[in-house]
Amino acid sequence: MSAYKYIKHAILHGEFAPKMRLTEEYLANKLQISRTPIREALKQLEAEGLIVSMKRGVRVRHFTKKDIHEIYDLRTLLEGYAAAQAAMNRTEFDLQEMNVSNDKYEAAIVDYFDTGKTTIEEILDLNHRFHDAVIRASQNQHVHSHISKVVVVPLIFRSFYWFDEEQLRHSLEVHKTILKAIEEQDLERARVAMHEHIYHGRDQVFKHIVDIDRQYSGTEEVQ
């Protein structure tokens, strides 16, 4: 696993908690590699909004309730636009990609609750594949770069862990609505359905977090 993937995984899974200070020296020792790949990884993670530079080292970004409201509002606007553009610009290949991604997503959800062999991380990955297929179908490469910065927020990632079977199946049905609207080139329906989908995820975050600022207070720093 690369330094970038390791650090990102540790942030998204809470090993490196919000407000935690990280230094190149600490990370290089932990991963037993030189500081050069660490430095490059931190630059990329800062560009994605997961860490913030300090005078010495970096700090894992801490998201307030206001941050999360704004992030979800922005993501809703961007992905709603992408879905509408996909409805207008999609090709047969795009439709095939979206259908395959969603079929795999459905199979993973069924397997997760029937056998437990599929992990929630695999379901999350397949959800991202469907969204990526919609974004590619929009034929707007600039939208993808902006959306990627608001999808990697740790709280957005963790919201999937709070989904029960009913909520995951609701997510699947909204995917199908989005896909049908894109197939029928119904721009407004595709946009509205995507809005509903993103805000459903936001509601799960706020349903499970009572006081984010209090939750993040007192995080110990890496020295």
For the ranges 25-34, 56-65, 72-81, which has the lowest average pLDDT?
56-65
Instruction: Pull the structure tokens for residue 183.
Output: 């197939």
Instruction: Pull the structure tokens for residue 114.
Output: 């029937």
pLDDT at position 88 over 60: yes
User: If 0-12 CB within 10 Å is exposed, 13-18 middle and 19+ buried, where does residue 82 land?
Assistant: buried
Residue 210: pLDDT band (50, 70, 90) is low
First to last CA, the chain: 24
Q: How many CB atoms lie within 10 A of CB 70?
A: 13
For residue 15, give the DSSP letter.
Answer: S
119-154 pLDDT, tens digit per residue, is: 888 898 899 899 999 999 999 988 888 887 777 654
Q: Report all structural domains of the chain as residue ranges with CATH numbers, in order of start.
A: 3-62 (1.10.10.10), 65-208 (1.20.120.530)
7-41 pLDDT, tens digit per residue, is: 988 887 778 888 899 999 999 999 999 999 999 99
Residue 221: pLDDT band (50, 70, 90) is low
The pTM of the full predicted model, rounded to 2 decimals, is: 0.79
Give pLDDT, residue 29. 95
Would you say 4 and 40 are in contact if contact means Cβ atoms under 8 Å apart?
A: yes
Query: What residues are paired with 22 via a beta bridge?
Result: 58
User: If 0-12 CB within 10 Å is exposed, 13-18 middle and 19+ buried, where does residue 152 land?
Assistant: middle
Give pLDDT, residue 78. 95
Would you say 147 and 75 are in contact if contact means Cβ atoms under 8 Å apart?
A: yes
90-106 pLDDT, tens digit per residue, is: 999 999 999 999 999 99
